[in-house]
Amino acid sequence: MTTTLITGASSGIGAELARQLAAAGHDLALCARRTERLDELAGEITAAHPERRVAVKALDVTDDDAVFRVFHEFDVELGGVERVVVNAGLGKGAPIGAGGYAANRATAMTNFIGALAQCEAAMEIFRARKHGHLVVVSSMSAMRGMPRTMTSYAASKAGVAALAEGIRSEMLGKPDLDITVTTIFPGYIRSEMNEKVEQQTRFMVDTETGVRGIVEAIEKGVDTARVPAWPWKPLGTAMRHLPLGVVRRLG
């Protein structure tokens, strides 16, 4: 049995991850800014799986001190957190120089600086215990620079992917530490973040289907995963090599 901590668990991908991981036998530590939603989710999960332990706490991942405190509190209360899913994210944005700096900054602070704090807190726990599984949720938009409202978001997710890869690289040189690092690159998965996007957006899949691919990758402990695998596994490779004028049409 694994105890998994998920940030940004109150809605969308985070909430569905909690449901599917609970069904797979995981105990859960769930945190987000909106505790009323977390309480509802915890009730739903324990009703469906009475044997599961589900703990909830309020957390704003841009509050550095709170991140470290909440992660360590969960670790103590649940007898050891073995996996952390760095999932909390923000999708605000505006074209650079168009007067939307506040939105772009908020996205960068949440998606990168907030993720850095979460990785630091998780790795403190894992290093002390000499094992653990860090899962970092990036985005397919991290493959290349994106235009318009996606610019800051894509840049923050590229930074998160590089952060995870750096941690993974270090762990390769630490045979005494059994720590796995998985980077997830979701494509267009329906969530609250993109609820205003038209349903016919190319390649969009429903939340349950998209998260099923994420859970599969997490359970396998792979280094990286583009999900859903079709079309994002081949498309991600193409995105890295296609002319920027072609790639921008995917933004």
Return d(Cα 103, Cα 152) in angstroms, integer: 9
Give the pLDDT of residue 228: 76
Burial level of 48, CB count in 10 A (0-12/13-18/19+)?
A: exposed
Mean local confidence (pLDDT), 49-77: 97
Active site residue 101: no
Selected catalytic residue, list 112, 153, 188, 232: 153
Q: Which residue has the tokens 């991140």?
A: 67
Q: Which domains does the chain have, with CATH numbers?
A: 3-250 (3.40.50.720)
Q: pLDDT tens, 168-222?
A: 999 998 889 999 999 999 988 776 544 554 444 566 678 999 899 999 999 999 9
The helix (run of H) or strand (run of E) holding residue 3 is strand 3-7
DSSP string, 207-220: HHHHHHHHHHHHHH
The mean pLDDT of 87-97, rounded to a whole number, is: 93
SS3 of 129, please? helix
Do 85 and 181 meet the contact criterion of CB atoms below 8 Å apart? Answer: no
Is residue 58 within 8 A of residue 35, CB to CB? The reply is: yes
CB 157 within 8 A of CB 138: yes
Query: Residue 48: what are its φ and ψ, rounded to 5°?
Result: -80, -30
E strand residue ranges, 53-165: 54-58, 83-86, 131-137
Residue 142: its pLDDT value, please? 84
pLDDT confidence of residue 1: 72
What is the reported pLDDT for 194?
Answer: 45
Residue 59 gets which letter from DSSP? Answer: -
Q: Which two tokens stand for residue 82?
A: 């073995």
Is the confidence at residue 14, as pLDDT, over 70?
Answer: yes
Contacts 24+ apart (CB under 8 A), 188-191: 188/140, 189/13, 189/227, 189/228, 191/11, 191/12, 191/13
